[in-house]
Structure 1
Amino acid sequence: MNNEIVTAFSDAVLSVMPMLGIPEVKFLSGKSYEKQLDSSGVIGIIGIIGELTGNVYFSMEESCAKKIASYMMGGMEVEEFDSIAQSAISELSNMLAANASILLSEKGKSIDISTPTLMSGDFTLSFSFSNVMCLEMLVEDMPFHVYLSIKE
């Protein structure tokens, strides 16, 4: 996958999270991933259209989602992954994808993003394309993955 795409999405996470008050965000690695993901957690999904097509998936454990939602709500403790916390994570997915789309437009790639879809629980997710890139990151020492299933 094009390095500009990978960089745009990793930079989006690394710049947006601190704006929300999250002090510890780290990029660990980028690696190719299989066409299917078995998940037990939370995934925000954003569709990509334009010069690039596909989907981006922001994946985390429920505990990470609750911690991020807490930061987004000014430090209010989030004990349940309820509709308010779900809305916060949907908005986070939107913010991250929008920021990446701005970074890509600065590199000459014009894309539009869809409204977010949120999934939680135990499920198997099949990606749109076989050349998926997984960006492994840590948010407050909790796993946060960005899966890029994008066709150039």
Structure 2
Amino acid sequence: MLNEYDVISKVGQNVLAGYLGLIVETSELQQGANSIESNGVGVALQIIGQMEGQFISTMSTATVKELVSRMMGGYEVQQLDEMCWSAFQEFGNWFVSGIATELASQGIQVNITQPLLHEGDVTYHSINNYTVVTMTSEIGKIDVYMQLEEAQTTK
């Protein structure tokens, strides 16, 4: 049985600590959220294949600027421009590629779609229930929402 919390936590540690040198604390596991509110910036990707679902990560604009700054080797980010948006999309790719790798290690083959970004106040509503994990570091709070289920096969 897939434990979404464990997958999110492990991949979050790998991406945030391994790639960006952040000290990360994972907390606030919530099961069953079907409404997602974001007051800043977010990245969303679909997971398709033997399992299907969504990944959404949201955070404040200040946290995104710090994240992108670290991704760019310390370059100071004043405003979110096209280069920053591209880097933030890559953050989503890193995270969900890590999830795909974790699933593959369990014999589950999936692919990911291109990231979709949002900015501003957004509320997602879904019939699906998400696992919610909050990761806190020195650059701020990152909320991760993930929902996966076995793909429906047709004969």
Q: TM-score, normalised by structure 2?
A: 0.88
In the alignment, what sits opposite 2:2? Answer: 2
Larger radius of gyration: 2
CA RMSD of aligned residues (A): 1.7
2:120 counterpart of 1:121:
yes
Report if aligned partners of 1:54, 1:128 keep a CA contact under 8 Å in 2: no
Report if aligned partners of 1:134, 1:145 keep a CA contact under 8 Å in 2: yes
Spell out, residue by residue over 1:52-84, the C-alpha distance to the aligned partner (whole angstroms, 9 max, x if none): 111100111111111000000110111112221
2:35 counterpart of 1:17:
no
Equivalent residue of 1:98, what SS? helix
Letter in 1 for 2:134: E
In the alignment, what sits opposite 1:51? Answer: 50
In the alignment, what sits opposite 1:66? Answer: 65
Listed as ranges, the gaps of 5+ residues in structure 2 are 151-155
Listed as ranges, the gaps of 5+ residues in structure 1 are none
Q: TM-score, normalised by structure 1?
A: 0.90
In the alignment, what sits opposite 2:147? Answer: 149
Letter in 2 for 1:133: T
The ranges of structure 1 where at least 4 consecutive aligned residues each deviate by more than 6 angstroms after the TM superposition are: none
More moved, 67-76 vs 137-146: 137-146
Report if aligned partners of 1:24, 1:141 keep a CA contact under 8 Å in 2: no
Equivalences for residues 58-97 of structure 1 within 5 A: 58-97=57-96
Equivalent residue of 1:112, what SS? strand
1:128 Cα deviation after fit:
5.3
Equivalent residue of 1:11, what SS? helix
In the alignment, what sits opposite 1:133? Answer: 131
Q: Distance in 2 between matches of 1:13 and 1:127?
A: 23
- Across the two proteins, how many residue pairs are aligned to each other? 150
Report if aligned partners of 1:43, 1:60 keep a CA contact under 8 Å in 2: yes
1:96 Cα deviation after fit:
0.7
